[in-house]
């Protein structure tokens, strides 16, 4: 049985929410509160699995309830219910730790999908809080202040359903961050689907994202499932979203707002339950000013903005990264090992790593392959790094 608290001062909306949830499952036990004070009293004395909370209420409002709940039980998910004028406040609530938000009047499919996703949050979040460890497979290497800030933010946002925009230069590790968020999320049993928006021709991006039906265009010889549908109950990672066409952006906006897509050539809606993580190395504000990126889409995908620092801003992590790459490469090259001595490491830390972590890995692999010595000094680093 799942115990749910509905906090809503409007009787009609509260009745609709309760009716929909009871019809969805006989295993839902529903309590009601008409204001923030009553909600806080009930949360103190009951073991709830989920709180559905309106934002604008008399006495204590929804933000007050959210702040109390996070302090009282950090594992209890809170879904905020927002009117149109409260959308900015709802986004701020996500930053404070809300699981998700639903706009009024609530779309029933969106409501039920969000409730189902959040009901696992309590147990999953407890496990996450105990371990405070991400997936080893997608471990982010480093202990600099800059990278620890990234890790802390990943830990906070992973169990939520918040849309995330990852910013940073090429090669800094934006995909790794996206994969770590998914691996630590409630959707980690679902698919992680990556789309490189810059690598797909503009005339094909909509088919790639949403699929198409046979005969919808010249080369559409059979029906095709799009990436959004393939990522259902999981995560879609829209890499280099700054390169997406305006036409595709408008359809992505609809998919995010309504959890619905339409295949190219079809008028049939397909409901999807997909978390969106996007990334770009571009300045979105500049693109918006040049009318190359929709401002409304930006606000939808940037509930949380996460900035991945360039390697030049965290050079103290270079020795740890090098050791990590050596361990990986050792198994690939017949257990060969190399050791970079003090002079070599000093040289590696002195370089301007414009290609970031990706470039560093390439240099380490080059040393593995080309150097005849197991001990790598400044001489070998200069010789095989490709840098002056």
Q: Is residue 338 part of a domain?
A: yes
Over residues 67-77, the pLDDT tens digits come to: 888 878 878 89
Domain range spanning residue 110? 2-125
- How many distinct structural domains can be found in the chain? 3
User: Residue 232 belongs to a domain with what CATH number?
Assistant: 3.40.50.300
Over residues 126-176, the pLDDT tens digits come to: 555 444 444 456 789 998 999 999 999 998 899 888 999 999 999 999 999
Domain final residue, candidates 307, 337, 354: 307
Question: Are residue 279 and residue 203 in the same domain, yes or no?
Answer: yes
Q: What pLDDT is stored for residue 124 in this prediction? A: 57
Q: Is residue 131 part of a domain?
A: no
> For residues 291 and 286, what is the distance between their CA atoms, to the nearest angstrom?
9
Domain final residue, candidates 60, 94, 125: 125
Report which secondary-structure segment, H or E, holds 211: strand 211-212
Q: Is residue 130 part of a domain?
A: no
Q: What pLDDT is stored for residue 131 in this prediction? A: 45
Q: Do 368 and 328 touch, CB atoms closer than 8 A?
A: no
Q: Is residue 317 part of a domain?
A: yes
> For residues 336 and 78, what is the distance between their CA atoms, to the nearest angstrom?
51
Helices 342-350, 318-332: inter-axial angle, 10-degree rounding: 110
Q: What is the mean pLDDT of the chain?
A: 89
Question: Are residue 113 and residue 218 in the same domain, yes or no?
Answer: no
Of residues 351 and 108, more confidently modeled:
351
Inform me whether the pLDDT recorded for 379 exceeds 80.
Answer: yes
When pLDDT is averaged across residues 15-30 and rounded to a whole number, the result is 90
CA angle 247–248–254, rounded 5-degree value: 100
Over residues 214-265, the pLDDT tens digits come to: 988 877 888 889 999 999 999 999 999 999 999 899 999 999 999 999 999 9
Question: Are residue 366 and residue 329 in the same domain, yes or no?
Answer: yes
pLDDT grade for 125, boundaries at 50, 70 and 90: low
Q: Is residue 133 part of a domain?
A: no
Over residues 358-367, the pLDDT tens digits come to: 999 999 999 9
Question: Are residue 151 and residue 94 in the same domain, yes or no?
Answer: no
Question: Are residue 298 and residue 190 in the same domain, yes or no?
Answer: yes
pTM of the model: 0.71
Q: What pLDDT is stored for residue 104 in this prediction? A: 83
Q: What pLDDT is stored for residue 132 in this prediction? A: 44
Tell me the percentage of the chain whose pLDDT exceeds 70.
94
Q: What is the dihedral of CA 138, 144, 146, 150, to 10 degrees?
A: 30
Q: What pLDDT is stored for residue 139 in this prediction? A: 85
Question: Are residue 146 and residue 290 in the same domain, yes or no?
Answer: yes
Question: Are residue 365 and residue 227 in the same domain, yes or no?
Answer: no
Over residues 265-302, the pLDDT tens digits come to: 998 999 999 999 999 999 999 999 999 999 999 999 99
Q: Is residue 132 part of a domain?
A: no
Q: Is residue 325 part of a domain?
A: yes
Of residues 387 and 35, more confidently modeled:
35
**Whole-Å CA distances, 275 to 192, 201, 364:** 10, 24, 35
Q: What pLDDT is stored for residue 103 in this prediction? A: 85
CA angle 258–248–306, rounded 5-degree value: 75
């Amino acid at each position: 049985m799942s115990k749910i608290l509905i906090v809503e001062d409007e009787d009609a909306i509260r009745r609709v929410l309760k009716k929909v949830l009871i019809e969805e499952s006989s295993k839902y036990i529903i309590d009601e509160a008409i204001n923030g004070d009553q909600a806080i009293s009930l949360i103190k004395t009951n073991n709830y699995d989920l709180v559905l909370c309106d934002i604008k209420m008399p006495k204590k409002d929804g933000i007050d309830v959210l702040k109390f709940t996070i302090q009282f039980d950090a594992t209890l998910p809170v879904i905020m219910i927002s009117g149109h004028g409260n959308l900015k406040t709802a986004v701020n609530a996500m930053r404070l730790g809300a699981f998700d938000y639903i706009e009024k009047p609530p779309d029933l499919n969106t409501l039920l999908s969000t409730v189902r996703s959040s009901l696992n949050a309590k147990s999953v979040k407890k496990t996450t809080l105990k371990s405070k460890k991400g997936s080893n497979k997608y471990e982010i290497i480093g202990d600099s202040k800059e990278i620890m800030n990234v890790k802390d933010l990943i830990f906070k946002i992973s169990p939520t359903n918040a849309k995330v925009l990852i910013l940073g230069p090429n090669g800094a590790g934006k995909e790794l961050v996206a994969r770590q968020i998914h691996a630590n999320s409630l959707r980690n049993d679902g698919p992680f689907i990556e789309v490189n928006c810059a690598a797909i021709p503009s005339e094909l991006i909509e088919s790639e994202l949403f699929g198409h039906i046979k005969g919808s265009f010249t080369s559409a010889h059979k029906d095709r499932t799009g990436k959004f549908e393939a990522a259902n109950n999981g995560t879609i990672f829209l890499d280099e979203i700054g390169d997406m066409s305006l036409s595709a952006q408008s359809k992505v906006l609809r998919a995010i707002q309504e959890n619905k897509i339409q295949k190219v050539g079809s008028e049939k809606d397909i409901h999807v339950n997909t978390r969106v993580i996007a990334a770009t190395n571009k300045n979105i504000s500049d693109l918006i000013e040049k009318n190359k990126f929709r401002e409304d889409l930006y606000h939808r995908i940037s509930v949380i903005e996460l900035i991945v620092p360039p390697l030049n801003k965290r050079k103290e992590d270079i020795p740890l990264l090098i050791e990590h790459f050596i361990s990986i490469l050792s198994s690939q090259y017949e257990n060969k090992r190399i050791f970079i001595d003090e002079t070599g490491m000093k040289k590696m830390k002195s370089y301007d790593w414009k290609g970031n972590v990706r470039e560093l890995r390439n240099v380490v692999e080059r040393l593995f392959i080309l150097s005849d010595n197991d001990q790598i000094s400044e001489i070998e680093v200069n010789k095989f790094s490709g840098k002056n």
